[in-house]
Amino acid sequence: EKLYLSWMAPRGIVAAAVISIFALELTQKGFEEAKILVPIIFLVIIATILIYGLSAIPLARILKLADLKPQGVLIAGISKFSLEIYKALKKYDLNALLVDNNWDKVTSARQAGYNTCFGSIVSENTHESLVLDGIGKFLALTPNKGINSLAAIHFAKVFDSSNVYQIYTAPKHKQDISKDLRSN
């Protein structure tokens, strides 16, 4: 990780600041060629951005810092069913994270050794606090169809819709559920 961070560390801003002052001083002392220093340094900065940008993923793979096909599952809703799914995932060494807005359920699950997060699965604050390392799928298992649908729509943008699932509860009438609110 340290090697990766040292490779990716930004350096261009320091070079741009120093060369700007240096070029100004040289120009004031009569060296007209110094005017070309600023454009040259910006070309160097652009080149390093391209090099770092193109090398970031391959370097992360070499250093085994990137999980290209994460198989872990983010599970919305804590219930006996979701806890069993969590156990099954862990049995196969897959990452799993349970999210629920019921503090008692989250606390109980956490004390039992489950990886949990307290918050509403449709809350932007919760989304920002989630650590999704090794997680590439989403499973909506809350008892609320609307919350499941909204969460599935959001996480389809994060994980791709083919990796997003929600529990299906058959409506009494076919027209009761909009196509826009359905996921896989």
Residue 113 — very low, low, confident or very high, per pLDDT cuts 50/70/90? very high
Tokens (6 digits) for 176? 């009761």
CA distance 183 to 165: 6
Helix intervals (H) in the chain = 2-8, 12-28, 37-62, 80-91, 103-111, 124-129, 145-159
pLDDT value at residue 179: 56
What ranges do the domains of the chain cover?
Answer: 2-62, 72-181
Residue 44 — very low, low, confident or very high, per pLDDT cuts 50/70/90? confident
The CATH number for 72-181, chosen from 3.40.50.720, 3.40.1260.10, 3.40.50.360, 3.90.100.10, is 3.40.50.720
Mean pLDDT, the chain, whole residue set: 85
The distance from CA 125 to its chain's CA centroid, rounded to whole angstroms, is 14
Could you give the strand order of the β-sheet that contains 72-76, starting from the edge strand earlier in sequence?
Answer: 116-118, 96-100, 72-76, 135-140, 164-166
Residue 176 — very low, low, confident or very high, per pLDDT cuts 50/70/90? low
CA distance 152 to 147: 8
Position with higher pLDDT, 30 vs 11? 30
Which tens digit of pLDDT belongs to each residue from 158-171?
A: 988 999 999 876 66
Residue 6 — very low, low, confident or very high, per pLDDT cuts 50/70/90? confident
CB 68 within 8 A of CB 136: no
pTM of the model: 0.62
Which tens digit of pLDDT belongs to each residue from 78-101?
A: 999 999 999 999 999 999 999 999
